[in-house]
Structure 1
């Protein structure tokens, strides 16, 4: 009996330990994957040995999307919701800019107040979810952070002289900003309640402009004079120097975690908040970088390492949105039923990628989505969606573009102005219908809409509309998925036969058969 109780105690201890994993979310500002050798085959990368070492312990995501600009990305992570739901679709510049609402349930508040094990919470560094007004300086604390220490603006005027807000109080900082960010994080961890796990949102200003010469002890400054003329003529050199300094300070943070016995219980997620700025973009058409809905503007570095990762040092091509961090961080914290704490009628777009970290089979998304909208009309504003191979851009001015990302990664060949084969058309229809269902904009998919979405005898699905059961006339075998209007996979298997779908809400659903057959069905 004593042995039995010992086993039970150990099992409970292990379960509690797993549930009490810490999470650090590290956000680098304005950087694409092509500056990291562990994420890209590009030869012009920064020297980042600490992030490289972290990547050997991580799952690296090759198809991760953020928003085209920083404020919407941060709002999406904070709430798990797309920009058209939060209202934050552009960079926050002033009091008149749409800003994060206090009514939103934040990931910080979820862990601080609602999780079964309450978390220490801190946000250190760039906030950029509200403008800097006295009445708003405590909003980070109100929305769930025990500590907020950093800056509210999109960019600091100088990395060695800027205004910091710490729990609502202003002061002037002259320590190098990247160093100060880690200093503040470590100071908080030194004083937090060690009987509780912690969540740290660590948002660096680097390598965002102003491009500058970092301290020589943090990076290789050989050949860098630091003059304004040299910086303007060679922005990439200084951008890489700032990244190297960032890497050095991340290394100091990881060393602290090791020395204080946090490393084995802490998951570390590293991401960028949008693509490279045009000045440092490493593509031919630099007008398709940050602040655009082209792939280069929204694809970001994205990796996760720590005790939750099974079989580390691998690359996942699964589709991931930065909004998915909300659900994933909640579940990393042992909060599996977090959705019960979300206010009624609040739609959460986040999908946990924890199964991918655990190396479990399955797909969490059939598409990822991004968008940008401004208070005044801008030709770059629009909505965009992609699946594994294809990318559809729908601009607010009515223009559409469509690319096969697998064979045309720089998006030079707009398929809508050339000939399209049946696979191209099927993917266009799927993405166009998915974005219309998601945003509620209706089906206005050029001339390739439902008349091209004809049911043939290779995959005749009936009855359509349906109330409970579905059948496929021919080619019944093979992988079959059913998706709802939010892109959630609600069924995956080899046959629709005998599957009772009567529990589904009325509406439009998508059936994917194999890799390129898409069919719409209506539940009523």
Structure 2
């Protein structure tokens, strides 16, 4: 097999588009209300830092021409923490607030009515039934099985983008949402929290080839390959924006289960040895890599479709929503300490950003949390998160824009924090959590504390609490404990 001609051309077109007509991204003037940049936020589903070659961590990685180019044209963050699972990460981005403040600590369990999807085409590859999260998260570590979505009274990013001075942003959420439930609006939730337009899935899907999407509250059954459908919708919406500034939330379900062999035109490597009708769970990694390649190809198609002048004035943000699952995680991370856990394998995910004035081909070791994207996106738009967010709302977000302009500048955070819990607010007290500073990490798992030196032990093999702490270690241990206690006790 040869790499599909379509992919070769997409790679060339994307490279030209990303460079822009004049290669002046580092010299773009500061944001003004008259010339606001566009902002494209892209989420990959279930992929840690070890999945991308640009991070140079994984023992084996898929081909990702688009994301490799994005890293060369922007800044890659090495110490970005998502939340351990998807819904909490999405809630922190859209509110700038930790899960214990919003009650979103797990993927949702309480959905609403939905029609049966259309019949899966006979030509489609095999997918293990019921593995895509279409019915929501069904388990719990603490007996609190019901987890609901983001409350409708939370102040959100799309609302903020419309509340500042100057031209209001057009806003769209395309793709996986996973924040709406039967108690907060279900099919209408993305629109209720402020998005002008929503199109795709409210949670996971159990087939990429037979699924129901929601378009501004209405169900539409389709057999269009899900990733391609999302990008088709994104291309159409962006092309209709004219000169208005826009913000798009583009949530892929790739590479989340169900594992499958994507359409060949989206491959970037030769996967012809994979049987499309075999059970992918018996040999999961090649299928997982093919799915990442398919997502990367579709991102490339989207970026190549945007006029170069428009793309020059667009921030492109790519991140993973949580770490890789235990079935597909590779070294240096470990199964059981991957997605769903507060270990590095569960929360250390890719974050790559390019755009006006952003440094090119650089990396940053700054401590960044998923909450920080809220303030960052608003500052990109020339807005101040503290001024726009209602005064009674506690905001946990710190803009990382200074680290985009000067990647070697000090971290604006002394620490980052994550947690995971079920049952909304009832589960907060018993949550697993983690906090780290530039060197040390304190975590609680199943009620037991652990303490790691990430400088000498970056992948958490040696729990320092199993021995005697040195004086400097004891000082940082107490410091982190005090910060966790103060944070979790705040309103």
TM-score, normalized by the shorter chain, greater than 0.5: yes
Q: Confirm or deny that 1:78 pairs with 2:126.
A: no
2:261 and 2:290 in contact (8 A); partners too: yes
Deviation at 1:430, TM superposition (A): 1.4
SS at match of 1:319: strand
Which residue pairs with 1:108 in the alignment?
158
Larger radius of gyration: 1
Q: TM-score, normalised by structure 2?
A: 0.82
SS at match of 2:435: strand
SS at match of 2:387: helix
Deviation at 1:212, TM superposition (A): 0.4
> C-alpha distance in 1, partners of 2:334/2:89?
23
Match of 1:344 among 391, 394, 397: 391
Structure 2 runs not aligned, ≥5 long:
1-28, 112-145
Which residue pairs with 1:382 in the alignment?
432
SS at match of 1:46: coil
Q: Confirm or deny that 1:204 pairs with 2:252.
A: yes
> C-alpha distance in 1, partners of 2:49/2:41?
17
Report 1:2-81 matches (<5 A).
Answer: 16=32, 19-81=35-97
1:79 and 1:323 in contact (8 A); partners too: yes
SS at match of 2:412: coil
> C-alpha distance in 2, partners of 1:133/1:159?
27
Deviation at 1:182, TM superposition (A): 0.5
Which residue pairs with 1:118 in the alignment?
168
1:292 and 1:380 in contact (8 A); partners too: no
1:32 and 1:300 in contact (8 A); partners too: yes
**Coordinate RMSD, CA, aligned:** 2.3
Q: Confirm or deny that 1:324 pairs with 2:361.
A: no
1:89–1:345 Cα change, 3 Å: same
> C-alpha distance in 1, partners of 2:77/2:190?
29
Q: Which deviations, in whole Å up to 9, do the C-alpha atoms of 1:198-238 show, x marking residues without a partner?
A: 10100000000000010000003221112233x12111111
SS at match of 2:342: coil
200-209 or 427-436, larger mean C-alpha shift: 427-436
Which residue pairs with 1:246 in the alignment?
295
Report 1:91-102 matches (<5 A).
Answer: 91-95=107-111, 96-102=146-152
1:115 and 1:338 in contact (8 A); partners too: no
1:46 and 1:241 in contact (8 A); partners too: yes
Which residue pairs with 1:398 in the alignment?
447
Q: Confirm or deny that 1:353 pairs with 2:400.
A: yes
SS at match of 1:437: helix
Q: Confirm or deny that 1:187 pairs with 2:233.
A: no
SS at match of 1:137: helix
> C-alpha distance in 2, partners of 1:268/1:363?
21
2:31 and 2:382 in contact (8 A); partners too: no
1:37 and 1:43 in contact (8 A); partners too: no
Match of 1:306 among 345, 349, 355: 355
Q: Which deviations, in whole Å up to 9, do the C-alpha atoms of 1:70-112 show, x marking residues without a partner?
A: 0000000010000000100111021542221111111111112
Which residue pairs with 1:129 in the alignment?
179
Q: Which deviations, in whole Å up to 9, do the C-alpha atoms of 1:381-427 show, x marking residues without a partner?
A: 411100111110023x4310001112112211100011221221121
1:132 and 1:152 in contact (8 A); partners too: no
> C-alpha distance in 2, partners of 1:322/1:434?
18
Report 1:453-464 matches (<5 A).
Answer: none
Task: Count residues with an aligned counterpart.
Answer: 424
Looking at secondary structure, tell me which structure has more strand per residue: 1
Deviation at 1:115, TM superposition (A): 4.7
> C-alpha distance in 2, partners of 1:185/1:104?
26
Q: Which deviations, in whole Å up to 9, do the C-alpha atoms of 1:155-200 show, x marking residues without a partner?
A: 20100110000000100121111111110001111222x2320101
> C-alpha distance in 1, partners of 2:263/2:428?
38
SS at match of 1:263: helix
> C-alpha distance in 2, partners of 1:424/1:115?
48
Which residue pairs with 1:218 in the alignment?
266
Deviation at 1:370, TM superposition (A): 0.1
Deviation at 1:58, TM superposition (A): 1.0
> C-alpha distance in 2, partners of 1:32/1:288?
12
1:247–1:32 Cα change, 3 Å: same
2:172 and 2:247 in contact (8 A); partners too: yes
Deviation at 1:134, TM superposition (A): 10
Which residue pairs with 1:288 in the alignment?
337
> C-alpha distance in 2, partners of 1:31/1:15?
32
424-433 or 82-91, larger mean C-alpha shift: 424-433
SS at match of 1:317: strand
> C-alpha distance in 1, partners of 2:437/2:34?
33
> C-alpha distance in 2, partners of 1:299/1:363?
16
Deviation at 1:295, TM superposition (A): 1.4
Q: Which deviations, in whole Å up to 9, do the C-alpha atoms of 1:54-80 show, x marking residues without a partner?
A: 110111100000110000000000100
1:439–1:53 Cα change, 3 Å: same
> C-alpha distance in 1, partners of 2:353/2:430?
31
1:19 and 1:333 in contact (8 A); partners too: no
Deviation at 1:131, TM superposition (A): 2.6
> C-alpha distance in 2, partners of 1:81/1:384?
16
> C-alpha distance in 1, partners of 2:263/2:179?
29
